[in-house]
Structure 1
Amino acid sequence: MKKVIHKADSRGFADHGWLQAKHSFSFASWNNPERVHFGALRVLNDDVIGPKMGFGTHPHDNMEIITIPLKGVLKHRDNMKDDWQAVLPGEVQVMSAGTGVQHSEINGSVDEQLSLFQIWVIPQERNVEPRYDQKTFKAEDREGKLQTLVSSFDDSDSESLKIHQDAKLSRIDLSKDETFIYHLKSTNHGVYVMLISGKVEIEGDILESRDAIGISVTDSFNLTAKTDSDLLFIEVPMINF
């Protein structure tokens, strides 16, 4: 088993006033040569966006982009559909940028901050037709069990959102002292575990809120919740680039 631990306070940080951004991997002006990616996972940004603020229209291509709102109201608009679409906590948004897409994302509230994770996964196919999708996932469906949010188009799971990569994003909520065994798709995959909240022990290492651990070269690993905990798993092929 191979492990890499990223403590919450070791992430990159950018204070733009309206945007407080924490980067698990090199992004924008924050460059850490030892933290460019974890396999096909290229970006995991933990953003807090001020009321009525956001990202103006900008382009993306050849990237699978997943957004998970945690608090507040996200509003999204792109050149595939010009209407503003609300994405709320409990929902997940996916966008295949493919040959190219233009989009905007803003905080849809006039008085509340927006908190979200934005995740970029390197696709296994380039120049696909751009697409957008979003779906609601009930919190009770991840109590003590894995809830799959995103999987590959080749995966038989019909309840998850789809991307162009042999990846799986999932969440679980564990009660204090509850244990769980995570099984990987294959030994060619790795899992980046972000502890959204709580305190857990994973294979002998203690993680607290917003700490992360990347685990690879194994077919499974064990974890125990030390307090009530909410975890995000991002499983990806361990590609190099």
Structure 2
Amino acid sequence: MLTLRPSLERGHANHGWLDSRHSFSFAEYYDPAHMGVSSLRVINEDWIDPGAGFEPHPHRDMEIITYVMQGQIEHRDTMGSHSVLRAGEVQAMSAGSGILHSEFNPSDTKQLHLLQIWIQPNQRGVTPRYDQKDFSDSQGITLLVSPDGRDGSLPIHQQASLYQIKLDNETAQFNAEPDRTYYLQLARGTLAVNNVPMEAGDGATLSGETQLSLTADQQAEALLFELP
């Protein structure tokens, strides 16, 4: 079964320096029908102005994933991590027992475009952890995040995996587990999932499926979550 979440039905907040679309309830946007899917709690699509960003703020007991689509993001945290992620790079941070971090667009001229993702962990109070990796050269279906860091993916504290899908005028097949829940977020382009067309910004919850057929008539980029 596939349930579509159209892009324009997402929550919207414009703070001037930050323009954000919320797939699920977040901050001042509240919709009891869209509180997340399984352990997936937040997908925010953010556009951040040059030189702007989030001042140091706390998190705990959350797996936070940042997927950079355009521009750069500068990260600092109380673990001593300091890095700049560029388009195609992914950041995974386990907030665990507690962490402070800041995220800024370091450019003077270019807008930052990213997906901010929160996954609820299956362990509380773990030691905070930070990882990042460049997946910009990946094509097809690529594992980005997993519980055990297999196949070069980034580890998180949850029985959930995140795949990148990058297709160019082609069809790919994904073997699904019928007892798992899947959520697909289309980042760019158009994509048909089991013959259901999707446009950029759309999301879809899939359950009870054994096979996902993914067809792109042109270039398409998506994130596919496999959830408990």
CA–CA distance in structure 2, aligned partners of residues 175 and 69 of structure 1: 20
Residue identity matched to 1:182: F
The CA distance in 2 between the partners of 1:188 and 1:102, in whole Å, is 36
Tell me if 1:202 matches 2:187: no
Paired residue type of 2:90: V
1:88 partnered with 2:86 = yes
Q: Aligned to 1:146, what secondary structure does the other structure show?
A: strand
The aligned counterpart of 1:61 is 60
- In the TM superposition, structure 1's runs of 4+ consecutive aligned residues that sit over 2 Å from their partners are none
Partner in structure 1 of residue 73 of structure 2:
74
Give the equivalent residue in structure 2 for 1:51.
50
**Matched-pair contact (CA < 8 Å) for 2:87–2:136:** no
Normalised by the length of structure 2, the TM-score is: 0.96
Distance 1:202 1:73 in 2: 30
* Number of residue equivalences: 228
**8 Å contact kept, 2:89–2:132:** yes
Q: How does 1:89-104 map to 2 (within 5 A)?
A: 89-104=87-102
AA aligned opposite 1:106: F
For structure 1, list consecutive stretches of 5 or more residues without a partner in the other structure: none
Whether contact under 8 Å (2:190, 2:220) holds in the other structure is yes
Matches within 5 A, 1:143-162: 145-153=140-148, 157-162=150-155
Q: CA deviation at 1:219?
A: 2.3
Cα pair 2:182 2:224 within 8 Å, conserved: yes
CA distance in 2, matches of 1:47, 1:138: 19
Q: What root-mean-square deviation, in Å, do the aligned CA atoms of Structure 1 and Structure 2 show?
A: 1.3
2:33 counterpart SS class: coil
Question: Quick one: distance in 1 between partners of 2:125 and 2:89?
Answer: 27
The letter for the 1-side match of 2:141 is: L
Q: Which amino acid aligns with 2:78?
A: N
Aligned to 1:9, the other structure's residue is in SS state: helix
Find the aligned partners of 2:74 and 2:2 in 1 and give their Cα distance.
36
Within 5 Å, which residues of 2 pair with 1:13-32?
A: 13-32=12-31
Question: Partners of 1:138 and 1:53 in 2: how far apart?
Answer: 24
Map 1:1-241; keep pairs closer than 5 Å.
Answer: 2-81=1-80, 84-139=82-137, 141-142=138-139, 145-153=140-148, 157-176=150-169, 178-184=170-176, 186-237=177-228
Counterpart contact for 2:66–2:92, Cα < 8 Å = yes
TM-superposed CA distance for 1:223, in Å, is: 2.2
* 2:171–2:216 contact (8 Å) kept in structure 1: yes
Using the TM superposition, give the Cα deviation of residue 227 of structure 1 relative to its aligned residue in structure 2, in angstroms.
2.4
Which sections of structure 2, spanning at least 5 residues, go unmatched? none
Residues in 2 aligned to 1:121 and 1:209: alpha-carbon distance in whole angstroms: 22
Task: Compute the displacement of 1:84 (Å).
Answer: 3.2
> Which TM-score applies when normalising by structure 1?
0.91
How far 1:47 moved relative to its partner?
0.2
Check conservation: 2:143, 2:151, Cα contact below 8 A. no
Q: Is the 8 A contact 2:67 2:89 kept in 1?
A: yes
Residues 70 and 138 of structure 1, relative CA distance in 2, 3 Å threshold: closer
- What CA deviation, in whole Å up to 9, does each residue of 1:7-52 have, x standing for no partner? 1101000000000010000000000100001111000000001111
Q: Secondary structure in 1 aligned to 2:123?
A: coil
